[in-house]
Amino acid sequence: MKLVLLGPPGVGKGTLAVALKDQLGLNHISTGDILRAEMKANTPLGLEARKYVDGGELVPDELVTRLIESRISTPEIYSKGYLLDGFPRTQKQAEDLNEILNKLDQSIDRVICLDASIEIIIERLTGRRLCKNCGELYHVKNKPPQKEGVCDKCANSLYQRADDNEETIKTRMEVYTTSTRPIITYYEKQGKLKKVNADTEASVVLETTLSFLNE
């Protein structure tokens, strides 16, 4: 199965992606995670990406599209199926993805579009914490670690993303509205899209999504 996850920042795409990955055995491909790993390692790509990511702007289309193409054209990845999280994010990316898929004789089966109220989104983003080492996601209220600031899984310290502050969140929401939201229509026209209300707990979002995938 090949899936795309759409939705505003902080809506819970990453949380749902990890759950779907575990349930369905898919590869989870998150452009945000890939870019943060490159930034952490200070690779040329990471240094380029940082100019945009920390301020909440999108990195150039060609850069992320190349990252995606190299992954989805790898047999170990496409044979198991995959879940694209954070890509496509612009009309251009959606069209380029379509071309790449045609070339590879692949297609997207379903697009899940999560949505939540702005209050919930801001609460999720400002309370979000991540493990420096393994990337595990936490939330100060909704999913606190057993010991404050420490990862339950690997005991490394937690951090807050540089772009999870109110000012940058505002920019990211604007970027979402202008550049990403239009591609909902693009996938709706293809009859592949399902809107899922993500105002509820993660387990409910997962159940709703799984029942849609089984339709």
The yes-or-no answer on residue 71 being catalytic is no
Round to whole Å and give the CA distance between 10 and 28.
17
- Choose between 52 and 186: whose C-beta lies nearer to ligand ADP: 52
**What is each CA distance from 168 to 4, 11, 15, 54, 94, in whole angstroms?**
25, 16, 21, 8, 24
The yes-or-no answer on residue 36 being catalytic is no
Round to whole Å and give the CA distance between 193 and 190.
8
- Choose between 30 and 208: whose C-beta lies nearer to ligand ADP: 30
The yes-or-no answer on residue 66 being catalytic is no
From the candidates 71, 89, 124, 129, which is the catalytic residue? 89
Report the site for Zn ion in 146-175 (rule: CB under 5 A). 151, 153-154, 156
- Choose between 70 and 211: whose C-beta lies nearer to ligand ADP: 70
Contacting residues toward ligand ADP, per CB under 6 A: 9-10, 13, 31-32, 35, 52-53, 56-59, 64, 86-87, 89, 93, 163, 172
The yes-or-no answer on residue 147 being catalytic is no
The yes-or-no answer on residue 161 being catalytic is yes
Q: Is 114 in the site for Zn ion (CB under 5 A)?
A: no
- Choose between 85 and 136: whose C-beta lies nearer to Zn ion: 136
Residues 16-31: b if buried by 16+ CB within 10 A, e if exposed: bbbbbbeeeebbbbbb
Report the site for Zn ion in 117-136 (rule: CB under 5 A). 131, 133-134, 136
Nearest to 61 by CA among 28, 94, 39: 94
Residues 63-78: b if buried by 16+ CB within 10 A, e if exposed: ebbebbbebbeeeeeb
Q: Kindly list the catalytic residues.
A: 13, 89, 128, 161, 172
